[in-house]
Amino acid sequence: MTDLAVRFREASAAAEAIFWRAPASPAETFRALADFAEEHGIERDVYGERGAVAQLEGEVAELLGKPAAVFFPSGVMAQQATLRAWCDGSGSRRVALPDLSHLVHHEQDGPRRVLGLELEWLTTGRETPTAESLARIGGRLGAAMVELPLRDAGCLLPTWDELVALSAAARERGVPLHADGARIWESVPHWGRTLAEAADLVDSMYVSLYKGLGSSSGALVVCPEDLAGELRSWRQRMGGTIFSMTAAAVGGLVGLREHLPRFGDYRAWAIELAAALHEHGIRTFPEVPHIPTFLAYVPGTPDEVNERLIAFAAERGTMPSGMWRRADVPGWVETELSCYDAATGHDPAEVAALLAEAVGI
């Protein structure tokens, strides 16, 4: 970690953070989980069987309208196991996915090196997959994957019609379609659809328990019953069937009750914020956010903008964004803004003015 990053982290710890979620101490987190478990009579799991894990799997499967759900300790394990299981059944290790996918950029080549998958680019850059992009990849595919939303492209979503057409094309071709739905909770308000309607367009979907729902960790894959059996075997092979997963599962149960009803409000607040940022000369991508997380852009270098933020936080006691990094356009920097509980307690126009002041716009 660089000296600038260390100082930024120290400044953030001493100031009020506007974006993401207000941090809770471990003791506060554990007390909240214990209170919920006691109030709802939650029992512990053993190696992923019974108790909180079984209850969470049942609730998530029902929400997304799939026959089964399988709990995993991490999304990385969940997705790699799912793609490998589909490929084994299809007789091909070739997987078509966006080149900006999480699997490509954040997993140290795990899909190739650990599970022997062969990756083909379904799309490149800030482009969401379509039926046409799938048709451009010839030969037998073990699976295709769509990321909903494409996080490294500013949390970009396809239109509903594009997703419907992609689903139909994959099924006509006999290619299992898997969705990285880590942020599907936040995505369905953009389409005005239910979780089950979105999940119905794919053969399997991974969902995260911590990105939107606020648990400490954990993930699930919703899928057909026969695939669920394969996934439980892969979870054990990969060391993921640990003795107890109760804490993360209880966190997921809490998140479904506390956060799931609020994602539409989070998105509406983010749209207001983006419009207010534009008035201050701060650009966003997408211009109108699809979900409560999006990218913001200002001119400058990472060092100078982050130094301004550190000074602003020390003076005002508020850290109005995360660190800024170099953008694709020379002379500009970008940061990701995630608009959840900590942000939505503020007026979006006031937050936009505060951020503009902090970065020197």
DSSP line for 16-85 = EE-SB-----HHHHHHHHHHHHHHHT----BTTBSHHHHHHHHHHHHHHT-SEEEEES-HHHHHHHHHHH
DSSP 3-state percent helix, strand, coil across the chain (nearest 5): 50, 15, 35
Which tokens sit at 331?
A: 């002379």
CA 63/CA 197 separation, integer angstroms: 10
pTM, full prediction:
0.95
- Tally DSSP H helices, then E strands, for the chain: 16, 13
Count Cα neighbours of 344 within 13 Å in the Cβ-side half-sphere: 19
For the chain, which residues score pLDDT lower than 50? none
Domains (ranges, CATH) in the chain?
Answer: 3-23+262-359 (3.90.1150.10), 42-255 (3.40.640.10)
Whole-angstrom distance, CA of residue 293 vs CA of residue 269: 11
Task: Please give the Cα distance from 27 to 35 (Å, whole number).
Answer: 12
Predicted local confidence at residue 342, as pLDDT? 87
Write the CB contacts of 9 (distance below 8 Å, at least 6 apart in sequence).
1
Which one, of 140, 136, 138, 146, lies nearest residue 91 by Cα? Answer: 140
Tracing tokens 């506060």 back to the chain, one arrives at 28
Report the pLDDT value the prediction gives residue 216, as an integer from 0 to 100.
Answer: 92
- What is the residue-wise DSSP string for 286-318? SSS-SSSEEEEEEES-HHHHHHHHHHHHHHHSE
Tokens for 6, please give them. 């260390």
Which pLDDT does position 20 carry in this prediction? 73
pLDDT at 228: 98
Question: Could you tell me if residue 139 is left (phi over 0), alpha (psi between -120 and 50 degrees) or otherwise beta?
Answer: left
pLDDT at position 22, please?
67
